[in-house]
Amino acid sequence: MEIYDHPTFRMACRQFDLVADYLQIPENERDRIKYPKRSMIVAVPVRRDDGSTQVFAGYRVQHYLTLGPTKGGLRYHPDVTLGEVAALAMWMSWKCALTGLPYGGAKGGIACDPGKMSKAELERLTRRYTQEMIPFIGPQVDVMAPDLGTNEQIMAWIMDTYSVHAGYTVPSIVTGKPVGLGGSLGRREATGRGVAYLVNRATDTIGLDITKATAVVQGYGNVGSIAALSLARYGAKIIAVSDVRGGIHNAKGIDLFALEKHVAEKKTVAGFPEAEPISNEQLLLLPCDILVPAALERQITEANAAKIQCRILAEAANGPTTPEADEIIAQRPEIFVIPDVLCNAGGVIVSYFEWVQDLQSFFWGEMEIVDKLFRILETAFTQVVALSRKQKLPMRLAALSLGVKRV
Which residues are the active-site residues?
A: 107
Site for ligand NAD in 332-351 (CB under 6 A): 344, 347
Nearer of residues 133 and 342 to ligand NAD, judged by Cβ: 342
Q: Is 219 in the site for ligand NAD (CB under 6 A)?
A: yes
Return all residues near 137 (Cβ < 8 A) that are at least 6 apart: 60, 130, 143, 144, 162, 173
> Is residue 221 close enough to count as binding ligand NAD by CB under 6 A?
yes
Q: Give the H/E segment covering residue 404.
A: helix 395-406
Q: Does 58 bind ligand NAD (CB under 6 A)?
A: no
CA dist 8 and 31 (Å) reads 17
- Decide if residue 223 touches ligand NAD (CB under 6 A): yes
Total residue length of the chain: 407
Sign of CA dihedral 344, 348, 400, 85: negative
- Specify the stretch interacting with ligand NAD by CB under 6 A; choose among 56-64, 126-134, 141-149, 372-380: 141-149
Total residues at interface with ligand NAD (CB under 6 A): 24
Among 200, 203, 242, 250, binds ligand NAD (CB under 6 A): 242
**Mutual angle of helices 346-360 and 366-391, in 10-degree steps:** 140
What DSSP designation does 219 have?
Answer: -
Strand ranges of the sheet holding 38-47, from the earlier edge strand across to the other edge: 38-47, 53-62, 104-111, 70-77, 142-146
Work out whether 33 is an interface residue with ligand NAD (CB under 6 A): no
Could you tell me which of 388, 400, 320, 356 has the C-alpha nearest to residue 33?
400
Among 36, 109, 146, 182, binds ligand NAD (CB under 6 A): 146
- Shortest Å distance, C-beta 343 to ligand NAD: 9
**Stretch near ligand NAD under the rule CB under 6 A, chosen from 41-49, 209-217, 251-259, 291-299:** 291-299
Task: Look at strands 70-77 and 142-146 and give their pairing.
Answer: parallel
Residue nearest to ligand NAD (CB): 221
- Cα Rg, the chain, nearest whole Å: 20
Please state the closest distance from residue 333 (CB atom) to ligand NAD, in A: 26
Contacting positions for ligand NAD (CB under 6 A): 146-149, 191, 218-224, 242-244, 280, 294-296, 316-318, 344, 347
